[in-house]
Structure 1
């Protein structure tokens, strides 16, 4: 009989102990795997860029713009050749939503003109850096590498005007006074006997930052060295809008020996194209 009385008592004691453990948990005890202490400590991912896709590069430039940049297109008499010239040659790419480009090259009676555009959509794989931030970093690297000269003060003959004799050979040629009437030195300032007159670069055509284009932009202008043969001029415009970087290269090689492409005209065409491409991205 004593054995039968002992068993229920042990069961009651076990039940009480279990109830006590449960009560402790109900009174605010936390399970061993609780994540409550981690609330709010996870770093939020940086913002994605505005653009998720890119325009098709070879279709991004209309015929009228190509006619202005590549005069030889309109001189082509074969409709098939002309259409091929308008189409351009697509750059090799494995993901057109990340990078796409196109090149056009046309010969005319007076020169060979070449145009290339490149779209790059930047994606940051660092949660602490946004797509825009990464694109800005890459753009800044490009601008620094261009080694743009110090801005020229406004006003003809300003003391702060750039003296091409101190520039690198390609830039000195690119900013010389042999392609535009206002690029040369002031005739009223005679040079010392036996020394060449200095050439000054007007602010309107020197390589520079462009404050009126997209989020960031710069323009570079280089002219090949040499004087006996025709020299190729290359105008480059690079701009960033949000997480997309666009590069335009516009080059002209004259046919006639000793000819030099006009800097102001080429820069104007390249800048107009850049403005259209920026509008296309935003539109």
Structure 2
């Protein structure tokens, strides 16, 4: 009997000790659980902004360029092909695909046809721009590439706007233009269109008239997101003149370049800006519609 009472006396401290240990472990686990929750919350809060990336570009692939131009359009752009034998004519309309590293990123095609009076060449270049900077969207990167092309062509990115109305006459408070600038401004119309009977007038003086006819290199409206047109006339030796019209436009993350060229066999006859620009712009509109399909 005394041993049983003694055993009970020894058990009570053990039970108290076990209870204290259980409470301590419970508090410790609670503290660890609370700390873990706080850490996860902090990680999620930091990961939130990083997870929101810029949206990708609209286009993931590119269409096949050589088959994108209808044959009726090619007949109009390459008049010299009509006189070729059937095999050569078919080959001229088929075009030659450009060699590129990745056809999902860049494609191109070219056509050409010669005639006794002139030679015509058409070139397409289509590029899909991808940004490798997570903070820059594909569209923004494509705009940077496009802006570089337009700047290299010497065409302002935005149309120049006058700082003051042109109708009021200059007053004493407005300084007159410098003599050299005034002379240059008034000299352009006289050199652009020489008198009909003037001797020594040649073909190369014709392009000087383009800045006053609305055919000068310029930005275009109503074509893609942004667009511009470039027009250059050059000599190709003692007996030839070449005009190259380029229409470049951007739609989302795709940049399309249309180059239409005519080379005249006679140096005194310059290819028409009106005709070449109209044909190049019509083809560019057709390709822009193709991108919307």
TM > 0.5: yes
The residue matched to 2:209 in structure 1 has which SS?
coil
What residue is the counterpart of 2:288 in the other structure?
278
Aligned counterpart for 2:26 among listed residues 19, 22, 29: 19
Find the aligned partners of 1:92 and 1:53 in 2 and give their Cα distance.
16
Q: Over aligned residue pairs, what C-alpha RMSD do you find?
A: 3.2
Matched pairs, number: 252
Check the 8 A contact 1:44/1:127 in 2, yes or no: no
In the alignment, structure 1 segments of 5+ residues that lack a partner are 154-158, 166-175, 178-183, 191-195
The residue matched to 1:142 in structure 2 has which SS?
helix
Check the 8 A contact 1:253/1:261 in 2, yes or no: yes
Shift of 1:151: 7.0
- Say whether residues 1:88 and 2:95 are aligned partners: yes
Check the 8 A contact 1:234/1:252 in 2, yes or no: yes
- Say whether residues 1:200 and 2:209 are aligned partners: yes
Q: 1:160 to 1:54 in 2, by over 3 A?
A: farther
The residue matched to 2:266 in structure 1 has which SS?
coil
Find the aligned partners of 1:139 and 1:164 in 2 and give their Cα distance.
32
The structure that has the greater radius of gyration is 2
Check the 8 A contact 1:152/1:161 in 2, yes or no: no
The residue matched to 1:34 in structure 2 has which SS?
helix
Shift of 1:41: 3.3
- Say whether residues 1:70 and 2:95 are aligned partners: no
Check the 8 A contact 1:185/1:197 in 2, yes or no: no
Shift of 1:64: 1.0
Shift of 1:185: 5.1
Deviations, residues 120-178 of structure 1 (Å, cap 9, x unaligned): 0111111211111111111011111101378799xxxxx9689399xxxxxxxxxx96x
In the alignment, structure 2 segments of 5+ residues that lack a partner are 1-6, 163-183, 199-204
Q: 1:106 to 1:145 in 2, by over 3 A?
A: same
Shift of 1:12: 2.6
